[in-house]
Amino acid sequence: MKKLYTLLALGVCLLSFQTSQAFTWNVGVQSFAFVNSPSVVNLGDTIRWTLLDASTHTTTSSSVPAGAASWDHVLDQFNASNYYVVTVAGSYSYYCVYHSMMTATFTAQPATAVPTPTLNNATVFVTADANNVNVVYTVGQNANTRLTLTDLSGRTLSVTECGMQTAGTYNTSFAAAALPKGIYLVSVQAGEATLSRKVCMN
Protein backbone atom coordinates (compact mmCIF):
# COMPACT_ATOMS: atom_id res chain seq x y z
CA MET A 1 0.00 0.00 0.00
CA LYS A 2 2.87 2.38 0.86
CA LYS A 3 4.41 1.69 -2.55
CA LEU A 4 1.07 2.50 -4.22
CA TYR A 5 0.87 5.84 -2.37
CA THR A 6 4.44 6.62 -3.41
CA LEU A 7 3.67 5.88 -7.06
CA LEU A 8 0.53 8.01 -6.90
CA ALA A 9 2.50 10.87 -5.34
CA LEU A 10 5.14 10.61 -8.06
CA GLY A 11 2.42 10.66 -10.68
CA VAL A 12 0.86 13.81 -9.22
CA CYS A 13 4.27 15.51 -9.05
CA LEU A 14 5.02 14.53 -12.65
CA LEU A 15 1.63 15.81 -13.86
CA SER A 16 2.24 19.12 -12.13
CA PHE A 17 5.73 19.29 -13.57
CA GLN A 18 4.54 18.64 -17.12
CA THR A 19 1.62 21.08 -17.11
CA SER A 20 3.12 24.05 -15.26
CA GLN A 21 6.76 23.78 -16.28
CA ALA A 22 7.71 25.37 -12.94
CA PHE A 23 11.30 24.51 -12.08
CA THR A 24 13.78 25.31 -9.37
CA TRP A 25 17.10 26.38 -10.89
CA ASN A 26 19.94 25.58 -8.49
CA VAL A 27 22.77 28.12 -8.80
CA GLY A 28 26.01 27.46 -6.93
CA VAL A 29 27.90 30.42 -5.49
CA GLN A 30 31.59 29.69 -5.30
CA SER A 31 35.03 30.71 -6.61
CA PHE A 32 33.71 34.23 -7.22
CA ALA A 33 31.11 33.04 -9.73
CA PHE A 34 27.42 32.16 -10.04
CA VAL A 35 27.69 28.58 -11.29
CA ASN A 36 24.96 27.17 -13.59
CA SER A 37 22.90 30.36 -13.55
CA PRO A 38 20.16 29.88 -16.19
CA SER A 39 19.91 32.20 -19.17
CA VAL A 40 16.18 31.65 -19.79
CA VAL A 41 13.49 30.77 -17.25
CA ASN A 42 9.71 30.51 -17.28
CA LEU A 43 7.33 32.55 -15.16
CA GLY A 44 6.73 30.69 -11.92
CA ASP A 45 10.25 29.24 -11.85
CA THR A 46 12.41 29.63 -8.76
CA ILE A 47 16.07 30.64 -8.72
CA ARG A 48 17.79 29.14 -5.66
CA TRP A 49 21.32 30.23 -4.79
CA THR A 50 23.45 28.04 -2.53
CA LEU A 51 26.82 29.01 -1.07
CA LEU A 52 29.41 26.35 -1.87
CA ASP A 53 32.55 27.86 -0.35
CA ALA A 54 33.59 29.64 2.84
CA SER A 55 33.33 33.18 1.46
CA THR A 56 30.60 35.75 2.05
CA HIS A 57 28.68 36.84 -1.05
CA THR A 58 25.38 38.42 -1.96
CA THR A 59 22.91 37.91 -4.75
CA THR A 60 21.59 41.39 -5.46
CA SER A 61 19.39 42.51 -8.32
CA SER A 62 20.81 45.33 -10.45
CA SER A 63 17.90 45.53 -12.89
CA VAL A 64 14.47 43.91 -13.05
CA PRO A 65 11.43 44.40 -15.33
CA ALA A 66 8.79 46.96 -14.33
CA GLY A 67 6.53 45.45 -11.70
CA ALA A 68 9.03 42.80 -10.58
CA ALA A 69 10.38 42.72 -7.03
CA SER A 70 14.06 43.45 -6.50
CA TRP A 71 16.15 41.37 -4.09
CA ASP A 72 19.29 41.60 -1.97
CA HIS A 73 20.32 38.45 -0.09
CA VAL A 74 23.51 37.77 1.88
CA LEU A 75 24.97 34.29 1.58
CA ASP A 76 27.34 33.30 4.39
CA GLN A 77 27.90 30.59 6.99
CA PHE A 78 24.67 31.59 8.75
CA ASN A 79 22.48 31.78 5.65
CA ALA A 80 23.84 29.43 3.01
CA SER A 81 20.94 29.59 0.56
CA ASN A 82 18.17 31.85 -0.64
CA TYR A 83 15.68 31.95 -3.48
CA TYR A 84 13.65 34.19 -5.78
CA VAL A 85 10.38 33.31 -7.52
CA VAL A 86 10.11 34.86 -11.00
CA THR A 87 6.67 36.41 -11.58
CA VAL A 88 7.21 39.07 -14.27
CA ALA A 89 8.47 38.51 -17.82
CA GLY A 90 11.56 40.38 -18.98
CA SER A 91 15.30 40.69 -18.42
CA TYR A 92 16.93 40.39 -14.99
CA SER A 93 20.51 41.16 -13.93
CA TYR A 94 22.16 40.50 -10.57
CA TYR A 95 25.58 40.63 -8.94
CA CYS A 96 27.50 40.30 -5.69
CA VAL A 97 27.96 43.62 -3.88
CA TYR A 98 31.27 42.41 -2.39
CA HIS A 99 32.73 41.15 -5.67
CA SER A 100 31.73 43.27 -8.66
CA MET A 101 33.05 40.69 -11.14
CA MET A 102 30.31 38.30 -10.07
CA THR A 103 27.40 39.08 -12.40
CA ALA A 104 24.68 37.10 -14.16
CA THR A 105 21.57 37.74 -16.25
CA PHE A 106 18.50 35.78 -17.22
CA THR A 107 15.35 36.37 -19.22
CA ALA A 108 11.92 35.30 -17.97
CA GLN A 109 9.31 34.22 -20.49
CA PRO A 110 5.68 33.15 -20.10
CA ALA A 111 5.31 29.43 -19.53
CA THR A 112 3.61 27.58 -22.37
CA ALA A 113 1.23 24.69 -21.92
CA VAL A 114 2.93 21.34 -22.43
CA PRO A 115 0.82 18.63 -24.08
CA THR A 116 1.36 14.97 -23.45
CA PRO A 117 4.81 14.43 -24.92
CA THR A 118 4.61 12.66 -28.26
CA LEU A 119 7.22 12.17 -30.94
CA ASN A 120 7.45 9.49 -33.59
CA ASN A 121 4.44 7.79 -31.99
CA ALA A 122 6.22 7.58 -28.63
CA THR A 123 5.34 8.84 -25.16
CA VAL A 124 7.78 9.33 -22.30
CA PHE A 125 7.24 9.80 -18.56
CA VAL A 126 10.09 10.41 -16.11
CA THR A 127 10.12 10.32 -12.30
CA ALA A 128 12.92 10.30 -9.74
CA ASP A 129 13.52 9.03 -6.24
CA ALA A 130 16.58 9.01 -4.00
CA ASN A 131 18.21 6.15 -5.87
CA ASN A 132 16.96 6.13 -9.46
CA VAL A 133 15.72 8.17 -12.38
CA ASN A 134 12.83 6.05 -13.65
CA VAL A 135 11.72 6.17 -17.27
CA VAL A 136 8.51 4.68 -18.67
CA TYR A 137 8.09 5.05 -22.42
CA THR A 138 5.73 3.74 -25.05
CA VAL A 139 6.96 3.13 -28.59
CA GLY A 140 4.15 3.24 -31.14
CA GLN A 141 6.09 1.53 -33.91
CA ASN A 142 9.15 -0.67 -34.25
CA ALA A 143 12.31 1.40 -33.74
CA ASN A 144 15.88 1.26 -32.54
CA THR A 145 15.76 2.93 -29.12
CA ARG A 146 18.41 4.62 -27.01
CA LEU A 147 18.04 6.34 -23.61
CA THR A 148 20.52 9.01 -22.50
CA LEU A 149 20.91 10.87 -19.21
CA THR A 150 22.74 14.22 -19.36
CA ASP A 151 23.22 17.25 -17.16
CA LEU A 152 22.16 20.72 -18.31
CA SER A 153 25.63 21.44 -19.67
CA GLY A 154 25.16 18.57 -22.14
CA ARG A 155 27.58 16.19 -20.41
CA THR A 156 26.50 12.57 -20.94
CA LEU A 157 26.18 10.68 -17.64
CA SER A 158 24.67 7.40 -18.81
CA VAL A 159 23.52 5.71 -22.03
CA THR A 160 21.27 2.66 -22.39
CA GLU A 161 21.15 1.02 -25.82
CA CYS A 162 17.82 -0.80 -26.09
CA GLY A 163 18.21 -2.04 -29.67
CA MET A 164 15.22 -2.71 -31.91
CA GLN A 165 12.02 -2.58 -29.89
CA THR A 166 8.58 -3.52 -31.10
CA ALA A 167 5.54 -1.37 -30.39
CA GLY A 168 4.77 -1.44 -26.68
CA THR A 169 5.51 0.06 -23.27
CA TYR A 170 8.91 -0.28 -21.61
CA ASN A 171 10.56 0.93 -18.44
CA THR A 172 14.15 1.37 -17.34
CA SER A 173 16.09 3.39 -14.80
CA PHE A 174 19.36 5.21 -14.31
CA ALA A 175 21.22 4.96 -10.99
CA ALA A 176 20.91 8.34 -9.29
CA ALA A 177 22.23 7.89 -5.74
CA ALA A 178 25.54 9.54 -6.66
CA LEU A 179 24.02 12.44 -8.61
CA PRO A 180 24.20 15.92 -7.07
CA LYS A 181 20.93 17.77 -6.56
CA GLY A 182 19.86 19.56 -9.71
CA ILE A 183 18.03 19.26 -13.00
CA TYR A 184 18.90 16.63 -15.59
CA LEU A 185 17.71 15.67 -19.06
CA VAL A 186 16.45 12.23 -20.06
CA SER A 187 16.39 11.73 -23.83
CA VAL A 188 14.64 8.84 -25.55
CA GLN A 189 15.65 8.34 -29.17
CA ALA A 190 13.27 6.17 -31.19
CA GLY A 191 14.45 5.79 -34.76
CA GLU A 192 15.32 9.25 -36.10
CA ALA A 193 13.29 11.16 -33.50
CA THR A 194 14.36 12.19 -30.01
CA LEU A 195 12.22 13.33 -27.08
CA SER A 196 13.84 14.93 -24.01
CA ARG A 197 12.27 15.50 -20.62
CA LYS A 198 13.68 17.33 -17.59
CA VAL A 199 13.81 15.70 -14.18
CA CYS A 200 14.74 17.32 -10.86
CA MET A 201 16.83 15.50 -8.28
CA ASN A 202 16.10 16.96 -4.84
Three-state SS letters, the chain:
CHHHHHHHHHHHHHHHHHHHCCCEEEEEEECCEEECCCCEEECCCEEEEEECCCCCEEEEEEECCCCCCCCEEEEECCECEEEEECCCCEEEEEECCCCCCCEEEEEEECCCCCCCCCECCEEEEEEECCCEEEEEEEECCCEEEEEEEEECCCCEEEEEEEEEECCEEEEEEEECCCCCCEEEEEEEEECCEEEEEEEEEC
* pLDDT score recorded for residue 22: 67
Q: Establish if 13 belongs to a structural domain.
A: no
Question: What pTM did the predictor assign?
Answer: 0.50
* pLDDT score recorded for residue 10: 37
Query: Domain range for residue 88?
Result: 22-109
102 and 120 both lie in a single domain: no
* pLDDT score recorded for residue 89: 92
Name the domain boundary from 71, 92, 109. Answer: 109
CATH of the domain at 76: 2.60.40.420
Name the domain boundary from 42, 77, 109. Answer: 109
Q: What is the mean pLDDT of each run of 10 residues along the chain (202 residues)?
A: 37 37 81 89 89 93 95 94 93 96 93 48 68 80 84 85 83 82 84 79 74
Q: Establish if 9 belongs to a structural domain.
A: no
57 and 100 both lie in a single domain: yes
* pLDDT score recorded for residue 122: 55
How many structural domains are present in the chain?
2
